[in-house]
Amino acid sequence: MRLSIEQIISYQTEGYLIVPDVFTSEDLQPVIDELSAEIDARARVLHAQGKLPDLYKDEPFERRYMLLHAQCREIGRGFDINGYLGEAMFRFLANANLLDVVECLLGSELSCNPIQHIRAKLPAKRVGSEEPDYFQNVPWHQDCAVTSPDSEASEIITFWLPLVDATAETGCMEVMPHVFKQGYINHRSEGGTTIVPEKLPQVSPVLAECLKGSLVIMNKYTPHRGISNRSDIVRWSVDLRYHKTGAASGRDVHPSFVVRSRLQPETVLTDSETWRRMWRELKEDKGKSLHRV
């Protein structure tokens, strides 16, 4: 699908946009199936090690991880896109429905930004007191705060999508409209990257509820936060970013790659094993800050 002129204007005015019905079940189900398989594989290893008494094999995707995590938190260790590097996830990074939307805002020469995450927000009542509050209530921040300063001129846009309905009950985001026009606001590290309290804009936030199959788009300067999951399911989501090919990614020690090009289609990366090798052979510069704080 493509964005309408009205939607583009709304994004450019508000600094965020919620786009309904971007993805079909055929788009999302391979990712969900792959995550389910990864959870199962991790659970079976921990079960064999005696760390996980019950596999909860018959529980659905929305609940199984929660029940396993309650028995053994180790199941979530390194569980992220660049941690398990799945085939279905790689294919989804270049999903045509997604890139058609991205192209409306960034043009046809597109690269997948290396800052990308899977989020499994557990129900608050299931999280023990020793769990950092940051994981339940992600504080107010701008996504540009976790990019290096050399990407200031780059237009890096966030595309956030839930794999279950993201509502006020399941723990959707809140965003501050219009504030992106102020540019970067000072942040500090406080259990997570957060806007300095005295610099927090006095703006009424908007609840960014987003149903499965829909998409939240955010400017890198749009302040947003996550709210608690008060439901009895896991709020799964995927957090992706894209930028114009050739622009600084904000994380140049990590691999970006071309996902669409009308001018040089031969540069598009279609080989998942190359993508995996790029991450596995990564040698980070330990002396270089990846954040602004």
pLDDT at 293: 62
Tokens of 77: 């260790």
pLDDT digits (tens, 9 = 90+) for 172-188: 999 999 999 999 999 99
| Residue 131 predicted with pLDDT over 70 | no
**CATH superfamily for domain 5-22+85-280:** q2cbj1_9rhob like domain (2.60.120.620)
134 Cα distance to chain centroid: 15
Residues 85-120 have pLDDT tens digits of: 999 999 999 999 999 999 999 999 999 999 999 999
Q: Which two tokens stand for residue 230?
A: 């008060």
**What is the sign, positive or negative, of the torsion defined by CA atoms of 75, 73, 80, 216?**
positive
Q: What pLDDT score does 75 carry? A: 97
Which whole-number Å values give the CA distances from 111 to 102, 216, 248, 275, in the listed order?
10, 19, 10, 13
Q: β-strands 110-112, 16-19: how paired? A: unpaired
Rg (the chain; Cα; Å): 19
Q: Which tokens hold the place of 17? A: 């946009």
Residue ranges of the alpha helices (H) in 245-285? 272-280
Give residue 136's Cα distance to chain centre: 15
φ, ψ of residue 46 in degrees (nearest 5): -65, -35
Residue 237 tokens, joined? 């989501």
Domain boundaries, the chain: 5-22+85-280
Burial class of 26 by CB neighbour count within 10 A (0 to 12, 13 to 18, 19+) = exposed
Average pLDDT in the 186-206 region?
92
pTM: 0.94
Nearest to 91 by CA among 172, 17, 28: 28
**What was the pLDDT predicted at 127?**
54
Handedness of CA 201, 209, 145, 75 (dihedral sign): positive
Give the pLDDT band of residue 126 (cuts 50, 70, 90). low
On average, the pLDDT of the chain sits at 93
Are 97 and 22 a contacting pair, CB within 8 Å? yes
Q: What is the pLDDT of residue 136?
A: 60
- Side-chain-side CA neighbours of 89 within 13 Å: the count stands at 25
Q: What is the pLDDT of residues 32-89, one digit of tens each?
A: 999 999 999 999 999 999 999 999 999 999 999 999 999 999 999 999 999 999 999 9
Give dist(CA 182, CA 194) in Å, integer.
16
Burial class (CB in 10 A: 0-12, 13-18, 19+), 263: exposed
224: how many CB neighbours lie within 10 A of its CB?
A: 24
